[in-house]
């Protein structure tokens, strides 16, 4: 039984798992959305959300702690310059997982993981819904 074991292992050893999640997190920062399997997206969400929370305070210590997880200088710069100011007032839930089709080769469930505040189509739809309708 696996009571209390909350790490999604992804059928990898720990170093391989950390490298995979670090690379996926850097890609998510640079591209704002990536297409991956559902299991990897769920593991990435648990790995990535504390990184964004840490990036809200732009200090040297926070940058070093984020770099320790990401190991990508360009991703750290983009995170502190572009992503963190946009999600500064959000209390959590920085990523969204949208399920898509199944992969044709092995029928794995695929999904799209994206940063919530960077989807322009959904932001436009939300502002249009908030505008009150005029009554005649």
Measured over the CA atoms of residue 70, residue 73, residue 77 and residue 78, the dihedral's sign is negative
Distances (CA, A) of 32 to 70, 96, 117: 15, 11, 9
Cα within 13 Å of Cα(24), Cβ side: 25
- Comparing 48 with 2, the larger pLDDT belongs to 48
User: Does the pLDDT of residue 82 top 80, yes or no?
Assistant: yes
Quick one: pLDDT at residue 78? Answer: 97
- Per-residue pLDDT of 94-106, as tens digits, reads 999 999 999 999 9
b/e code 112-122 from CB counts within 10 Å (16+ = b): ebbbebbbeee
Specify the pTM. 0.87
Q: Are strands 95-102 and 33-37 parallel, antiparallel or unpaired?
A: unpaired
Residue 70 tokens read as: 């990401």
pLDDT band at 131 (very low <50, low <70, confident <90, very high): low
Arithmetic mean of pLDDT, 64-80: 97
- Residue 71 to residue 85: CA distance in whole angstroms: 21
Return the minimum-mean-pLDDT range out of 46-50, 85-89, 111-115: 85-89
Q: CB–CB of 47/91 below 8 Å?
A: no
Instruction: Note the pLDDT tens digit of each residue in 25-44.
Output: 999 999 999 999 999 999 99
Q: Cα separation of 65 and 72, whole Å?
A: 12
Q: What are phi and psi of 21, to 5 degrees?
A: -65, -35
CB proximity list for 90: less than 8 A, separation 6 or greater: 116, 117
């Amino acid at each position: 039984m696996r009571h209390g074991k909350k790490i999604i292992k992804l059928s990898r050893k720990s170093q391989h798992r950390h490298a995979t999640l670090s690379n996926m997190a850097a890609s998510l920062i640079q591209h704002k959305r990536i297409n991956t399997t559902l299991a990897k997206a769920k593991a990435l969400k648990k790995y990535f959300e504390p990184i964004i929370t840490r990036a809200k305070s732009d200090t040297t210590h926070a940058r070093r702690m984020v770099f320790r997880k990401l190991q990508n200088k360009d991703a750290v710069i983009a995170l502190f310059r572009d992503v963190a100011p946009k999600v500064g007032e959000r209390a959590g839930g920085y990523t969204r997982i949208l399920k898509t089709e199944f992969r044709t080769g092995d029928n794995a469930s695929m999904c799209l993981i994206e940063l919530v505040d960077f989807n322009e189509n959904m932001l436009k739809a939300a502002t249009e819904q908030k505008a009150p309708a005029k009554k005649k």
